[in-house]
Each structure stands twice: as structure tokens, then as C-alpha cells.
Amino acid sequence: MNALELRAALALASVYVLRMMGLFMVMPVLAVAAMDYPDYSPLLVGLAVGGYGLTQAALQIPMGMMSDKWGRKPVILLGLCVFAIGSFVAASADNMIMMIVGRILQGAGAIAGAIMALATDVSRESQRAKVLAIIGIAIGFSFYLAVILGPLIANSYGLAGVFAITGLLAVLCMPLVKWVVPDSEQLSSGDTLPQKDQLKQLLLSPQLWRLNVSVLLLHMLITLLFVQLPVTLLHFDMTLESHWSVYLPVLGISIVGLVLMMGAARGRTPKSLLFTAIVLMGAAFFTLSTQTHSWWMVTAAVVLFFTGFNYLEANFPALVSSIAPAGKKGTAMGIYASFQFFGAFLGGIVSGFVTDIWTPDIAYGVGAACTVLWLFIIAGLKEVSRVKRVMMQASKPDTVLDERSQQVLKQGLSAVPGVLDVTLNHHNGAVYLKVDRDFDALKAREVLDAT
């Protein structure tokens, strides 16, 4: 990477760390700290934990499209501003309802797609994977850091302090976006952001819908867990500020489990390991539903959960990228993200509702039942090989090709060794290819130049 790309990658990764850390810090503390509010109830706690997911799910695709019209930075700055306002509203809340309003406002700052698109705009094709990998690592790091820091900050400053620090972190992101992240005049491709005319086709894709429902269940279950687990730990006379002493070793051990599973996968994503990860999560919820009196069993269950969760969280996006047609990854990932955030919202609602009516043990049991259903859904998923995506520019982008010429070009490119799928963009003269390791770039360029 050159200096510009490295600056962009580190700055955008920092924005992600600060924003997502602020969002995640609330999860391990809210269920306990919210007991001080006069209108406390498990249902309202569930809505407060997962409420951000509703607006994230609704606005993820529209804000990505908006960044194509207004530019990346204005949309990102707008999203950070809305997120900060939501954080300060939640910090000043003296009841659960106002806190939920703040959480929903936090979710309205749905800028994940615009950030990824900006990263694509300011990086070369050859270095893009490295830039996105740095940002991806930052997202994972922010979650682990937040789960550990959240209880410590809540102990010192209360739940209001957690939200206030979250708002300040969002404000600190704004100068980074404005002055540190490089500007880009050329917007990235339809392989980065959602396109409205592709939504219906990809929503109904027999393979992609299984992954969309899978990520919904994945984030539904982690939200369900964090609505219940902090309260479960109180049963062992653990104060909120000591919860980090459970989360830190649990996350460390689960990362070792992730590394072992990734090593067994050998660069692929075999269905057997997807099944294994789901079974681990199911076993965790079953254990939690029956063994909440045993500290060791609870700890072991959380290790199992995070081992499965980490593996699926790391591999589902790669599967979506491999399955999505050429030139349509942006739309596929936008739909995927919307299902992901809606799952967080659903997990809060389901967990709070079940606990309100029955018991926390039943809520854990619901999680276990969901994994059984999930296994049937994932059983229909076909194994796919990892692919690479390439965007090439037609030699004469201003030339409008008739339907026959387009067909000839697609046939010519499809015959190039290693090309798996071809999509033409008539608006900007871009050609999107899905290719494997046998791809002959020189041959593809010859076909384009001959058009």
C-alpha cells in the first residue's frame, strides 16, 4: 500500500473502532445497570439492547445509496452526528423509554456501507483487499475491547457515562473523516454499494437468503445472550465491574477455538464446520437453560457460544461475496447487513418478551431451539469456492453498445480462462468479473480492447 492508502485504511479503521466500540460497550452492562430505572422491565431492556438494530436495518441500504448522490464524507458525517445525538439522548435519559429513543437514534447513523465504499474509492484494485482487511480486523477488535471496557466504565461512571463516552467517541471520529481520510472524486462501483434494481433478484436468491437468515439468527442469538448473561452472572455474587474477568478469558479461549477451526477449514468454508459452529452455539444455549447454578458450566457454555459465533461471523461475509453475482456484491452485502441488524433487534425483543412472560431459562431454551431450526436452513446451502472479484474498464467507456454487442462481449469474456461470471454496467462502462485462480487478465483485456 502507498502512503495515501495506508492513511485511509488506518483512519477509517479508527472511525470504525471508536464508533463500534461505543455501540458495543452498552451490551454487557445494560441489562444490569438499567435496573435502576423506575420503569425497568425485561422487555424494555431487550428493546434497549437491540433497538439500534431496527433503524440500522431500515437505513443501511438507503444511506449507502445516498452516499452515491451526496458523496461519501457528507453521509458519514451525517451518520456520526445522528449517532452522537442518540448517544447523548440516552445518556440524559431518566427512564427506559427515553433510553430506547436514544438507542434507536444511534442506529439511525447507519454508515457502514458508506465507510466501506469510501475505503474502496481511495484504494487501488490491487490493494483494496488489504485496506478492507485492516478495517475488518478493527471491527472485531472493537467488539472485544468494548465487552471488556463496558463493565469497567459503567462501574465508574454509570450507564449514563457509557452513553456519554459513546457520544464523545462519535464526535472524535468527525475530524478523522473530514481531514485525515483522503478525498475521492471518483465513486466506487456497484460491486461496493447496493443498487435498487438488484434488490428483488438477490432477496429471492435460493442461496443468499439462507445466509441472510443465518446472519439474522446469529445476531439475534448474541443479543439474546447479552440480555440474559449479565443478570445470570449476578447469581454468582459477581458485581458488574468484575464481569470483565469472565469476558476476557472467555474471549481469549474462543479465539483459540476460532484459529483451530480456521486451520481445519484450510482456506475453504466447508458445510461441516458451519454445522459444527451452530451446534456449539446450540449446546451453549442448552447448557445455559439447564445449568445456570454452576459457574463452571456457564463459563464453558459462553466459551462454546463465542467459538461458534466467531467462526460464523468471520466466514459468512466471505460466503456472500463468493455467491453474489458479479457486479452485485454491494447489493448482496447491503441486504446481508440489513438482516444482520434486524436480527439484533429481534434478539432483544424475543429475549425480553420471553423473560417477561416466563423465565430467563426459557429464553435460553428459545435460543437452543433456534439453532435446531437453523441447522435445517443451512443444510440447503451449497458449498462454494472462494472467488476473486475484478472490475475492468471498457477501453471506450463513452461508447454505447447495442444489445448484440453486449452479448458478444459477455460471451467473449465468459470464454476467458478463469472467468466465472460477467456483469456489464452501461452507465460507467465498467465490467465486473467473478474469477478463480486461473483467471487470465491479459486475455480479458484483449477481449475488451477488441470491442
Write the pLDDT tens digit of every residue in 377-391.
999 998 877 788 887
Write the pLDDT tens digit of every residue in 111-130.
988 888 888 888 877 777 78
Tell me the mean pLDDT in the region 413-437.
82
pLDDT band (50, 70, 90) for residue 137: confident
Question: Could you tell me if 430 and 393 are in contact, meaning their C-beta atoms sit under 8 angstroms apart?
Answer: yes
The two domains 202-386 and 388-449 share their CATH topology (first three levels equal): no
Q: For the chain, how far is it from start to end, CA to CA, in angstroms? A: 33
User: Domain 202-386 sits in which CATH superfamily?
Assistant: MFS general substrate transporter like domains (1.20.1250.20)
Rounded Cα distance between 95 and 237, Å, is: 26
Q: How many CB atoms lie within 10 A of CB 277?
A: 26
Give the cell for residue 195: 443498487
Architecture field, domain 388-449: 2-Layer Sandwich (3.30)
Long-range contact pairs involving 13-17 (C-beta distance under 8 Å, separation at least 24):
13/134, 13/135, 13/137, 13/138, 14/138, 14/173, 14/176, 15/76, 15/80, 15/115, 15/173, 15/176, 15/177, 15/181, 16/115, 16/135, 16/138, 16/139, 16/142, 17/138, 17/139, 17/141, 17/142, 17/145
pLDDT band (50, 70, 90) for residue 428: low
Burial 364-382 (b: 16+ CB within 10 A, else e): bbbbbebbeebeeebeebe
Write the pLDDT tens digit of every residue in 159-211.
999 999 999 999 999 999 999 988 876 666 557 778 888 899 999 998 999 99
Domain 1-183 matching CATH 1.20.1250.20: the answer reads yes
Write the pLDDT tens digit of every residue in 308-344.
999 999 889 889 988 988 888 889 989 999 999 999 9
Rounded Cα distance between 164 and 22, Å, is: 9
What residue segments make up the domains of the chain, in order of their start?
1-183, 202-386, 388-449
Q: What is the pLDDT of residue 241?
A: 85
Q: What is the pLDDT of residue 189?
A: 56
Q: What is the pLDDT of residue 59?
A: 95
Q: What is the pLDDT of residue 451?
A: 67
Q: How many CB atoms lie within 10 A of CB 395?
A: 12
